[in-house]
Amino acid sequence: MRFQDIALEGDFLKIRELAPTMAPGATAPGVAPTPGMTPPPGTAPPGAAPLATDPAAASKMAAAQAKDMMDRKKQLQDQIKDTEAQLNDLRKQLATMQ
């Protein structure tokens, strides 16, 4: 099949190599799900109201994600510092060999 043979976006998305990565059980936009197919957990059926979320829980999750990000950043900074110290030690050893 050539690219120009694809007339509709749905046909384009059916081609596995060109289709965007999707969760198992998800369908491409504009492509009707197969009968008996169940939507992935946590998704509302088409036409349903979006799932309500607790604002307090959402802010706690955002705070936890921000804390995790800061912890990861600190770990990376410490790792860079340790690597630079090791590099300086190696440079000193190299200077004594010459």
Domain ranges of the chain: 1-34, 54-98
**pLDDT tens for the chain, residues 1 to 98:** 565 555 566 666 666 565 556 655 555 555 555 555 555 555 555 555 555 568 888 899 999 999 999 999 999 999 999 999 999 999 999 999 97
3-class SS at 85? helix
| 61, two tokens | 């999750």
pTM (predicted TM-score)? 0.42
Give the span between the Cα atoms of 36 and 27, in whole angstroms.
Answer: 13
Give the span between the Cα atoms of 25 and 35, in whole angstroms.
Answer: 12
pLDDT at 3: 58
Give the span between the Cα atoms of 72 and 67, in whole angstroms.
Answer: 9
